[in-house]
Amino acid sequence: MPLKKYGVLKGKAVDSKQGSDSSPHYQVLIEDDQSTKYRIAINIKSQASPSEVLYFVSEDFNSDDITKLPKLASGFTEINHNNPDIALDYIRGKLFDPKKMIPLPASAPGPNNDLNDKINQYFKEAIDKKAVVYAFGDRWGPEVGQPDQYFNFLPGNGIHDIHMNQGNAGNWTQDNGTWQDGGALIYFEETDKWVGIFLAFQSQSWCTDDQGNAICPVEKCNHTNFDKNPCKSNGYIR
């Protein structure tokens, strides 16, 4: 079963909070042109082993799809059969080379060597330069009468699952689907530069069928070898 309300949130980052052991998400407060507030929750640690999340950032992201994003209205746009051309799919969309993804811990001693540090670097710059953020994932809320637990705005509202959303096993199989992967794109207007932030779990298989379910286990089909493994002959098509 795919995500319930997949889409993209367009707005500007105005605040952020780093994750912790008790709350392993990097939190960003986003505001759209109508002053509606949202929180985006970015995973920095996996509940499944291994806990280190796969990370890749492109500081000069270039894709045909991004030419359509500036035309979107500010706020949340649901992505479904009416506008699949702006959806993300790490496997089918050829957004980046998966082999460039590296596993990073949520936090570690020293500068710029963990996911908190890496993500914080780009969102702090986005806040300072009033860049436009496009966050892809699953919408929650509005939660009428419930303030957001991190930024205290009403009603609670936001985006999560900002990572690959296919190839899951176990408790997360229900989230599998194609063309519904998460990620964050940041557009710095002054320099006309796009930054793309992409995340995946090491427990996810990179060989998936048309429903986003794993064709073979991650041990045989991970981000470093899925182009050359035997699963391709079993019906996997990139």
Query: Is the residue at 105 inside a domain?
Result: yes
Residues 94 and 100: their CA atoms lie apart, in Å, by: 13
Structural domain includes residue 1? no
So what's the pLDDT on residue 229? 64
Total structural domains within the chain: 1
Distance CA 232, CA 238 (A): 8
CA angle, corner 216, sides to 51 and 43, nearest 5?
25
Would 72 be classed as within a structural domain? yes
- Between CA 214 and CA 53 the distance in angstroms is 19
- What would the pLDDT profile of 157-185 be if each residue is shown by its tens digit? 999 999 999 999 888 899 999 999 999 99
User: Does 136 map to a domain?
Assistant: yes
Average pLDDT over residues 78-86: 81
- What band does 234 get if pLDDT is binned at 50, 70 and 90? very low
Give one DSSP letter per residue of the chain, joined into a string.
---SSEEEEEEEEEEEE---SSS-EEEEEEE-TT--EEEEEEE-S-SSSS-PEEEEEETT---GGGGTGGGSPSEEEE-STT-GGG---TTTS--S-GGG-EEE-S--SSSS-SHHHHHHHHHHHHHHTT-EEEEEEEEEEEETT---TTT--SSEEEEE--S--SS--GGGGGG--SS---EEEEEETTTTEEEEEEEEETTS-S-B-TTS-BSS-TTTS-TTTTTTSGGGGGT---
The whole-number pLDDT of residue 196 equals 96
Q: What is the distance between the alpha carbons of residues 214 and 204, in angstroms, rounded to a whole number?
A: 8
Query: Residue 23 falls within a domain, yes or no?
Result: yes
pLDDT in tens, 129-156: 999 999 999 999 999 999 999 999 999 9
Task: For 228, list phi and psi in degrees, rounded to 5.
Answer: -120, 10
3 pLDDT band, cuts 50/70/90, is very high
Token pair, residue 120, equals: 């914080």
pLDDT score of 232: 57
The pTM assigned to this predicted structure is 0.94
Residues 6+ apart with CB under 8 A from 228: none
Per-residue confidence (pLDDT) for residue 236, from 0 to 100? 45
Considering only residues 232 and 128, tell me which one the structure prediction assigns the higher pLDDT.
128
Percent of the chain scored above 90 by pLDDT?
74
Please give the pLDDT value at position 112.
Answer: 86
CA distance 194 to 179: 21
Q: Is the pLDDT of residue 237 over 50?
A: no
Residue 51 domain flag: yes
**Domain interval for residue 19:** 6-234
Query: For residue 169, what are the contacts with CB-CB under 8 A and spacing of at least 6?
Result: 203, 204, 205, 214, 217, 218
**What is residue 84's predicted lDDT score, i.e. its pLDDT?**
74
Q: What is the pLDDT of residue 230?
A: 57
